[in-house]
Structure 1
Amino acid sequence: MARWADHAIWWHVYPLGFTGAPPSALPAGSGPEHRLGRLEAWLDYAVELGCSGLLLGPVFASRTHGYDTVDHLRIDPRLGDDADFDRFVAAAHGRGLRIVLDGVFNHVSREFGHPEWFRREGSGYAVFEGHQHLVALDHTRPAVADYVGRVMSHWLGRGVSGWRLDAAYAVRPEFWAAVLPGVRRRFPDAWFVGEVLHGDYAGYVARSGLDSVTQYELWKAIWSSLRDGNFFELSWALKRHDELMESFVPQTFAGNHDVTRLASQLPDERHVAHALAVLFTVGGVPSVYYGDEQAFRGIKEEREGGDDEIRPEFPAGAGQLAPYGWPVYRLHQRLIGLRRRNPWLVRARTEVEHLTNRAMAFRSRDGEEEILTLLNTGDDPYRFPVGIDGLRVLDSSSPDGKAPWPTVPPHGWAVLGR
């Protein structure tokens, strides 16, 4: 993994939604609409949040939502043009922010310029998960591998730092294993993360040559265990996560562009803090989905337009955000700050030391470094039977940081370290 990625904390943004772009491509002959500047105006906000880069959703020319690409070498005119993109990257770099792009290389729009690269299935073309307007590429064709490598190298040469590979799980890992070496020879510091939902994460990384994959198992266990009052599910997921850490560093998250918002998953808003405490005290490369840091709500629905609620437009400036979201923003700042002061956590190994349905203690370690996370979602104070010698409170749900630790207040949490 590129060494800089050890310090990466991503602000994950879906640009078409964020900038209020129209839902479909502009009419033929229309000039670009320069919306990337709207996202550029929020770069300082991302820096103040504590993030070190932007993980962007699709920015390339497409028909509708960005995942039906028409041309991977052209910025979507709804967002702007090459000059807008170069200006955006320069502005990000000027603030110390890296950019990772979303590479949709499994499927494309039916209007993609190389229909000879479409994968045949019966008398027609194979499509992605039943979506007739998303045609699967034939990854056995050398021309497709050459094209993907050329696209990756083109934008890496324009200043981006890596790629999120959309629907990587639908592509044989050997395809990436054939493409990536040539790209890495030119750009040895590039970082590649694949979207993989479930299955053999470690095996996929080993066979593909990717640096990381998306840790959906941990994502699901975080909100589900808090919603259902069942920390045993989270404990199982953390054991699985710890095994993965033996071979690679997963990309971790509590929300993204494809799932119901964290604040909508949790019936008790106090438990958003517990979810973040897990995210930022276990190993992985973490990301925050735009709006989650402001307690945005949104339900993912399996229908046409069912993603609109979770991919909203942001206002022109931070002053137009609702006041109720700022305490959650400040909570993110605190826990991201804790993470950045303890960068060793990216490769930490985690062990659960105490467990009930509504109380959990786990310790993350790397060499001599350690952090102890205590979570209580019950209605009564809970005294954890764990050792805290030599540890002090780094952050907690108690405003003054003072409590009879390791007793944690009702619906409270604490992170202790050296």
Structure 2
Amino acid sequence: MTSSPALPPSAEPEWVAHAIWWRAYPLGFVGAVPEPEHGPVRAEEHRLRRLVPWLDHVIELGASGIALGPIFASSTHGYDTTDHRRIDPRLGDEADFDELIREAHARGLRVQLDGVFNHVGRAHPLVAEGSALLRRGEDGRPVPFEGHDALLELDHDHPATRELVVDVMRHWLDRGADAWRLDAAYRVPSAFWAAVLAEVRSTHPDAWFEAELIHGDYAAFVRESTVDTVTQYELWKAIRSSIEERNLWELTWTLGRHDALLAEFAPATFVGNHDVTRIASAITDPRHRAHATVLLAMLGGTPTVYAGDEWGFQAVKEERAGGDDAIRPEFPSGGPADLVGADGTVLRLHQELLSLRRRHPWLHRATTGEPRALANEHLEIDLAADGQRLTVVLNLQDEAVPRPQGELLAADDATRGARDGVAGHGWAVVG
């Protein structure tokens, strides 16, 4: 491969400053996994098109793109890829993908794909061929990914592996994709990503790359790999536990680390995804679930809403076979009108807060600095960037707390009805 100069980590595409993603796990969303009771899903069912009736909902929610989980041919859950250049037959075919892209782009929505480039499924042709592209241990056998025998790691030192990934990325970007999520990116050498992304950006400079990074030095990884962003699991954890345990000191400490990241790149923020317990189950006091949504919508970064969270879905991830099924449910093929068990109040909250964020796009790189007020159950922070400022107040206690001066832009119902305070267990955004 020829080499091209890598873009600096801060040089994300301009459109990302306004990006808000709605994430879906397609195989579960369309009822392809777990296997339906009536038997195997047939390719001619073209289930990928079942996402199209949901695109208007994405717009009404206030998002600007759809982030898709795995859609390429695989044996089971999508992360055991068998062919990176083929749509999973349980979802349909390439024509179904093209239709989804057309419908999304017609509405101004970007589309992100999930790239599983660390490993392949055991049924991948590379395995049967005994390919040199597979990483091998001292015994000469392919190395399983984190102990999962059905997933075998690729050899990222092999030039042909780089060529494979570049080719796959370009193939789907050419067909209309706008961005890539890099699954298990933390298991791949940073130098590999730097080489691959330089090649892909030379032909697709407007593409955006989000790396799955669970732990480690986020900023160093971004600098060395040249990805645009990483999944902000540290903030995800702090939002959940600090609200659930009523310890806003933890959140404040993490926000300081988040500010440091924002000086270099805009982290990918979330409170739920296809791998974790739903936020409405993680926060057991229903009075405090809105506080997590406030943080997702207001904090600096590039936010993602996991499909179902905007209706208050509850589900717990379990460490067992099939333990992900509950957090990856099937959605009605006809769209939101057929949804059962949806909480319209939670949806309206998401719409209100995402609308507020869209009116203040500078929040993409906003930092919090030192809190105005901090206690176990009370936090008041400023969000500031480009000479702009908003103030967020979170109250987890029974008693009201003071509200800062300024226009009340959003708040819980009790706080809206109060003269100058933030109600017990309430929240407010003040401009």
TM-score range (shorter-chain normalised) is over 0.9
Q: Which amino acid aligns with 2:134?
A: F
Q: 1:308 aligns to what?
A: 325
Checking the alignment, whether the CA contact within 8 Å between 1:24 and 1:64 is kept in structure 2 is no
Provide the C-alpha distance between the structure 2 equivalents of 1:162 and 1:45, rounded to a whole number of angstroms. 21
Higher mean displacement: 352-361 or 108-117: 108-117
Q: Does 1:121 align with 2:140?
A: no
Checking the alignment, whether the CA contact within 8 Å between 2:415 and 2:426 is kept in structure 1 is no
Q: 1:90 to 1:358 in 2, by over 3 A?
A: same
SS in 2 for 1:159: coil
Higher mean displacement: 111-120 or 168-177: 111-120
Q: Does 1:369 align with 2:385?
A: no
Q: 1:3 aligns to what?
A: 14
Q: 1:401 aligns to what?
A: 416
Provide the C-alpha distance between the structure 1 equivalents of 2:415 and 2:288, rounded to a whole number of angstroms. 19
- Report deviation, 1:404: 2.9
Q: 1:41 aligns to what?
A: 53
Provide the C-alpha distance between the structure 2 equivalents of 1:47 and 1:206, rounded to a whole number of angstroms. 33
- Report deviation, 1:23: 3.6
TM-score (norm 2): 0.93
Q: 1:78 aligns to what?
A: 90
- Report deviation, 1:402: 4.3
SS in 2 for 1:120: coil
TM-score (norm 1): 0.95
Q: 2:73 aligns to what?
A: 61
SS in 1 for 2:45: coil
Provide the C-alpha distance between the structure 1 equivalents of 2:385 and 2:171, rounded to a whole number of angstroms. 37
Provide the C-alpha distance between the structure 1 equivalents of 2:383 and 2:62, rounded to a whole number of angstroms. 21
Provide the C-alpha distance between the structure 2 equivalents of 1:36 and 1:228, rounded to a whole number of angstroms. 40
SS in 2 for 1:42: helix
Checking the alignment, whether the CA contact within 8 Å between 2:211 and 2:227 is kept in structure 1 is yes
- Report deviation, 1:29: 13
Checking the alignment, whether the CA contact within 8 Å between 2:47 and 2:90 is kept in structure 1 is yes
Unaligned runs of 5+ in 2: 1-11
Provide the C-alpha distance between the structure 1 equivalents of 2:244 and 2:275, rounded to a whole number of angstroms. 19
Provide the C-alpha distance between the structure 1 equivalents of 2:73 and 2:87, rounded to a whole number of angstroms. 5
Q: 1:324 to 1:113 in 2, by over 3 A?
A: closer
Checking the alignment, whether the CA contact within 8 Å between 1:293 and 1:328 is kept in structure 2 is yes
Superposition map of 1:18-417 within 5 A: 18-23=29-34, 31-115=43-127, 116=131, 117-123=133-139, 124-316=141-333, 317-322=335-340, 324-351=342-369, 352-383=371-402, 388=405, 391-398=406-413, 401-405=416-420, 407-417=421-431
Provide the C-alpha distance between the structure 1 equivalents of 2:415 and 2:192, rounded to a whole number of angstroms. 53
- Report deviation, 1:36: 1.1
- Report deviation, 1:198: 1.2
Checking the alignment, whether the CA contact within 8 Å between 2:248 and 2:379 is kept in structure 1 is yes
Provide the C-alpha distance between the structure 2 equivalents of 1:238 and 1:30, rounded to a whole number of angstroms. 47
Provide the C-alpha distance between the structure 1 equivalents of 2:393 and 2:407, rounded to a whole number of angstroms. 13
SS in 1 for 2:416: coil
SS in 2 for 1:101: strand
- Report deviation, 1:232: 0.6
**Identical-residue share of aligned pairs (%):** 52
Q: Which amino acid aligns with 2:242?
A: S
**Deviations, residues 101-126 of structure 1 (Å, cap 9, x unaligned):** 00000011011122311110132211
Checking the alignment, whether the CA contact within 8 Å between 2:41 and 2:90 is kept in structure 1 is no
Checking the alignment, whether the CA contact within 8 Å between 1:11 and 1:290 is kept in structure 2 is yes
Q: 1:320 to 1:151 in 2, by over 3 A?
A: same
**Deviations, residues 221-267 of structure 1 (Å, cap 9, x unaligned):** 10111100100110011001001111111000010000000000011
Q: 1:31 to 1:266 in 2, by over 3 A?
A: closer
Q: Which amino acid aligns with 2:56?
A: D
Q: 1:310 to 1:31 in 2, by over 3 A?
A: closer
Provide the C-alpha distance between the structure 2 equivalents of 1:67 and 1:392, rounded to a whole number of angstroms. 47
